[in-house]
Amino acid sequence: MKRILGGCFALLLGSLGCSSEPGGPAQEAGTDAAADLGLDGATDAGVDGGGEADAGDPHGGLRLPRCEESEPEGATEPAPVASTLVGALLPMATRALMPDTRPMMNPVSEAGERAYRALGFDRYARGAAVARERRMDLGGPASTPPAARRSLAWFVAFSDTQLADDESPTRYGMLDSPGAPGAVRPQEAWLPRAMTAMNRTLRELTQGGRAFQFGVVAGDCADSAQQNELRWFMQVMDGAPGIHTDSGEDDDPVPGPGNDPKDPFDGVAFPAPWYFVPGNHDVMVVGTTAPTPAQRASAIGAVSSFGTRDYTTWYAAPRRGEVRADPARRLLDRSDIVSALRAGGATPGPVGHGYPEGADVSTGAHWTSDVVPGLLRVLALDTSDFSGGSPGMVKRSVFDGWLRTELDRAQRDGVLVMLASHHPTTSIDRREGEFGAEMADAVSAAEVEARVASYANVVAWLVGHEHDVRVRPVRGADAAHPGYWEVQSGSMADWPNQARAMEVVDNGDGTLSLFGTMIDFTATTCMERRFRRLAMMDYLSAWDHSHVGTALDRNVELVIPIPEAARARVAAAAMTAPSRIESETTLRGMR
């Protein structure tokens, strides 16, 4: 989650004392926050005055609109095209500018959704292909690479699914605002379907050809460190049957099976072994506070202080007050997460998803794995701050101990290295919690970057957290230490809801190319389309920040010289590596 959300919420909660008693200061703040957002009818019954459904039930037993009835009139789904090199899905309306002259209306509410639908904020179409930009920021010959290229690794990078138990007492639904978005998302209940659609799309993309070798999920897989959220995430990634992303009451907001986001559904497995990197939302309450005994009790309790979705009311409006308790909302520690990952299925694997048996998480849930044996090693660095707060932190003991040891070992082994962490270094600080004093044993972002860039065999750092589609060169000290590429691939939770297909290619001229291509999921059901329309509405209304990036961040070819220490490994791998470059064939619609 972005720092602005964590910062605003942490400041508010700290000033309120986080009371969990109905009628206490937390409730009063929730009422004021809802009123400030211009949400008419924001009461304890819900943001839209959800109690209306109890007065004669004008909605005929429905608690959500039927999916088909929410589709734009006359809209047709564009032909399925996953690769944005062929054609990207684009909104048909222009994004609002903030501050807007219209009254602010949260797209979570019925009034907001109806207003934004009237503006066409739920319509999208197939746009033009997004060109690939070749970037030479870190050096390499200006000439076109020779034809004899070899594909060394073919994988997927994505992050920030933030799969949420949207009925949990830990939620901050009444505090959502354009200045601090993400407390509640209009599309979040449909997210597991969209994740399944992405898994299916990635599987179909390579069907009959070369399968992806692995995937890296750069954190914030869950939204609030809950046991059920992690379980749902793993079930979706493993393609489990009968996935039921419901908690508390067994809700059926649209009567009948398979027609609302609380009905069970069958998953589609991610098409390759996937690796888990922890983010602040995986280990903290809504990504901002390290769990306390009081919060652990509250998570499995029966009182919502700041507003959670209520599927017994029309539109499942957020409300405060009593909720049905659920022990599956138990808050997890790092050791719990690793145990759950180790106990998960072996298909698509790998067992532990990066974590070996007996993994020590006392200084963080770090891991090392040779994702392409003998050639490419991933070092996963747990950057979430043990003291709380949404920004990341790297302690001196980890920096000089685990990280330096693993980088030295990889250099001796002559392998290429990619780091993976949830936080980019632009979101790493030295402060305790969100706004505390600087910690003497924390390392600055500048020092982290300089140290990592001093290892010439580090070619990339895969990150998440900010939800942006962004590529950033981090330069080293000289030509022998050119630096590395920091690659952030957006968020599945927020528009444009994409993943990034990546490929490491030996150019045959002393350089590597890291290809990155943004992938749109193909929506084949109404609920998958509804997720996309609501996410786009959140973006177009400017309720959420823009994360789409520039042409230099989307479809890219990132050139970097082959480090001296890894040349022998690269040459050996290239002798048997495929000559077909998937990023320039499969992803361009060629077979």
pLDDT in tens, 517-556: 999 999 999 999 999 999 999 999 999 989 999 999 999 9
In this predicted model, which residue has the larger pLDDT, 465 or 14? 465
Give the separation between CA 224 and CA 166, rounded to whole angstroms: 10
Percent above pLDDT 90 for the chain: 81
Token duo for residue 221: 């897989």
In this predicted model, which residue has the larger pLDDT, 118 or 9? 118
Q: Which amino acid is at 524?
A: T
pTM of the model: 0.91
pLDDT at 146: 77
Inter-CA distances, 319 with 23, 48, 86, 171, Å: 13, 9, 44, 10
pLDDT in tens, 341-358: 999 988 999 999 999 999
pLDDT at 314: 95
pLDDT at 50: 37
Q: Comparing 83-92, 176-185, 204-213, 463-472, which segment has the lowest mean pLDDT?
A: 176-185
Tell me whether residue 76 is exposed, middle or buried, using C-beta atoms within 10 angstroms of its C-beta: 0 to 12, 13 to 18, 19 or more.
Answer: exposed
Tell me whether residue 21 is exposed, middle or buried, using C-beta atoms within 10 angstroms of its C-beta: 0 to 12, 13 to 18, 19 or more.
Answer: exposed
* 61: nearest Cα among 53, 69, 71: 53
CATH label, 3-72+79-588, candidates 3.40.50.720, 2.40.50.140, 3.60.21.10, 3.40.50.300: 3.60.21.10
Q: Rounded to 5 degrees, what angle do the CA atoms 551, 556, 562 make?
A: 145
* 261: nearest Cα among 251, 273, 276, 271: 251
Burial 29-48 (b: 16+ CB within 10 A, else e): bbeebbeebbbebbbbbbbb
pLDDT at 100: 52
Count other C-beta atoms under 10 Å from residue 213's C-beta: 16
Q: Are residues 200 and 268 in contact, defined by beta-carbon separation less than 8 angstroms?
A: yes
Confidence of residue 98 (pLDDT cuts 50, 70, 90): low
